[in-house]
Structure formats: C-alpha cells, structure tokens
C-alpha cells in the first residue's frame, strides 16, 4: 500500500482520532514554524498536508485579513479541521479545508504568496514533480516554509523505538523514500528545491521535546499513543500473542526510562526549511 493510500484510509483515521495528542507532541515545533511563516505579511496561504488544521488555524489568526487554504488527502483529518474551524470569531481570518493531493491541487484565482507545511511534504511520492507544481501555482517570489525530521539517529524517540522493533517490523522507509525521514538529508532537499525553481533555501535545525505523555499516568498515556501512531503501532499490528505482549512490555519500559517530572518527552530533531518561489 502506498503512503498516500494509507493516509486516505487507516493511517488518516488513526491520526484523526489522536489529533489532540499529535498537536501536543508537536507543540514546540508548531510555534516555531508558525512564527517563521507569519514573520512577513501574506495575503493567501496554502497549508500542505494540513492534517487536523492546527497550522492553518494559527495562520488565519495571525493574519485576520488574509486567506488560508488547508489541503490534505485524508477526509477524516479534514473533518476534524472543519469542526475546529466552526464557531471561530469572524475576525480570526478566513480559512478553508479541501481534500486533495497538494502535488496536483490548484484553485482558480488563488496564487499563494505563502506555502507552509508541518511535516507534510516528506510524503510526496514524486517530490520533484510536487515542488515543480507548487512553484507553478505560487505567486512570484512566494515564501515556502516547512518542517521535516532530521536523520533518525538524531531523534531520540526514533532511536529508542528502533531498538525495540523485531526484525525490522514497523520500520519507516529509508531516507529518500516517502516517509518521516524522506527529507532528512539537506543536500537532497536543496537539490529537489533547486531543480524545481525554488531559490535561496535555508535550513535551520530545530530541537524540540516530543511530548508523548504527561500527568500521573504519563507512561500509560504515552504507551497508548505510540500504539496508535507511528512505527511502534505498525510493529504491534504485525505481532501476535506472546511476541506482541513482550514488545509492549519493552515499550513500556522504554517510556518509563524517558519519564521526567510527569512528562514523557524524548528529544526530536527537525529542519525548518525556507525558500522563495521563482520570480
């Protein structure tokens, strides 16, 4: 099954059900991305792989006189995003959510002068074609700002989970393939952007706490989250009986080792990438 089909189906449903905890886990990174994206005025923003809509809604609040369109392939996630957008005060900005692949999406009369993505662009099946399309629909000189994970070895959560995975079960695709670490290599990303007309690319390393659990039952909170989202969930789904029970026991022990002051927050490492469209 391809990544896109997974996001359209089972994976999208899982992430939609966990949007509260997903937003929590990325909170520190989201603040940094939104601050960078909103550092200059914009009139029309496109949120690529908008998921449950957190970044789209934050941008709309930052620029009440602007327009924001969030695009995602998962109707389940978009349903959450639309629910979150309902009841917002009219002075919080205009925001819409559309089910589409950003690699082929366009809207007549809407040329974004800001394109943003929180960990969405790593799942493009053909990143060269996708970024070429985005450059073609963007306003001349539009700004691009997105985050992506750095190498798995730099991410404490990824190293820890990898040490538990039996025989590669649940392991993410290798760098360069659609998946969480597809854009870990800045040279590869710069080459993709350069080939598609994007210029002046910059890469800022951002380290942040990946908050997976908190409170009196922080370990169980994190355990239930990891058994639904990410490589641990993938591995657990492939195991049965004693093998599954053993995996969960070792995962619980790993999480307990990360507990500090009622929080399970292993370090995560990302790139904040910014560039300019042609023109």
Query: pTM for the complete prediction?
Result: 0.93
Domain boundaries, the chain: 3-152+173-211+266-276
Torsion of CA 49, 107, 57, 147, to 10 degrees: 30
Largest CA distance in the chain: 60
Where the chain has pLDDT below 70, the residues are: 1-9, 89, 167-175
What is the end-to-end Cα distance of the chain in Å, rounded? 38
Cross-strand bridge partners of residue 94:
67
Residues in CB range of 35: below 8 A, 6 or more apart: none
- Nearest to residue 63, comparing CAs of 94, 32, 89, 107? 94
Q: How much is the pLDDT for 93?
A: 77
Q: How much is the pLDDT for 2?
A: 41
Q: How much is the pLDDT for 179?
A: 87
Q: How much is the pLDDT for 235?
A: 87
Considering the segment(s) 3-152+173-211+266-276 as one domain, its CATH architecture is 3-Layer(aba) Sandwich (3.40)
By residue count, the chain amounts to 279
DSSP 34-91: HHHHTTS--SEEEEET-TTSHHHHHHHHH-TTSEEEEEES-HHHHHHHHHHHTT--GG
Separation of alpha carbons 193 and 189, rounded Å: 6
Separation of alpha carbons 246 and 164, rounded Å: 10
Q: How many CA atoms lie within 13 A of 92 on its CB side?
A: 12
Q: How much is the pLDDT for 131?
A: 98
């Amino acid at each position: 099954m391809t990544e896109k089909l997974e996001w359209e189906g089972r994976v999208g449903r899982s992430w939609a059900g966990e949007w509260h905890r997903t937003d929590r886990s990325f909170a520190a990174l989201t603040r940094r991305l939104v601050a960078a994206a909103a550092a200059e005025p914009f009139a029309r923003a496109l949120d690529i792989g908008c998921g449950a809509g957190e970044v789209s809604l934050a941008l709309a609040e930052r620029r009440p006189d602007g327009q924001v369109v969030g695009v995602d392939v998962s109707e389940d996630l978009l349903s959450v995003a639309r629910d979150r957008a309902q009841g917002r005060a009219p002075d919080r900005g205009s925001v819409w959510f559309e089910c589409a692949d950003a690699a082929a999406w366009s809207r007549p009369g809407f040329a974004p002068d800001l394109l943003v993505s929180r960990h969405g662009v790593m799942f493009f099946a053909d990143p060269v074609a996708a970024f070429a399309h985005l450059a073609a629909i963007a306003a001349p000189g539009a700004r691009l700002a997105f985050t992506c994970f750095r190498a798995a070895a730099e991410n404490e959560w990824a190293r820890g989970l990898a040490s538990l995975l039996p025989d590669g079960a649940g392991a993410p695709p290798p760098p360069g393939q659609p998946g969480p670490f597809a854009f870990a290599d800045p040279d590869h990303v710069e080459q993709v952007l350069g080939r598609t007309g994007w210029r002046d690319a910059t890469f800022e390393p951002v380290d942040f706490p990946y908050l997976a659990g908190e409170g009196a039952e922080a370990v169980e909170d994190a355990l239930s989250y990891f058994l639904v989202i990410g490589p641990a969930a993938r591995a657990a789904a492939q195991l049965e009986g004693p093998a599954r029970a053993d995996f969960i026991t070792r995962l619980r022990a790993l999480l307990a080792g990360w507990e500090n002051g009622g929080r399970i927050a292993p370090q995560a490492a990302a790139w904040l990438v910014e560039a300019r469209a042609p023109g």
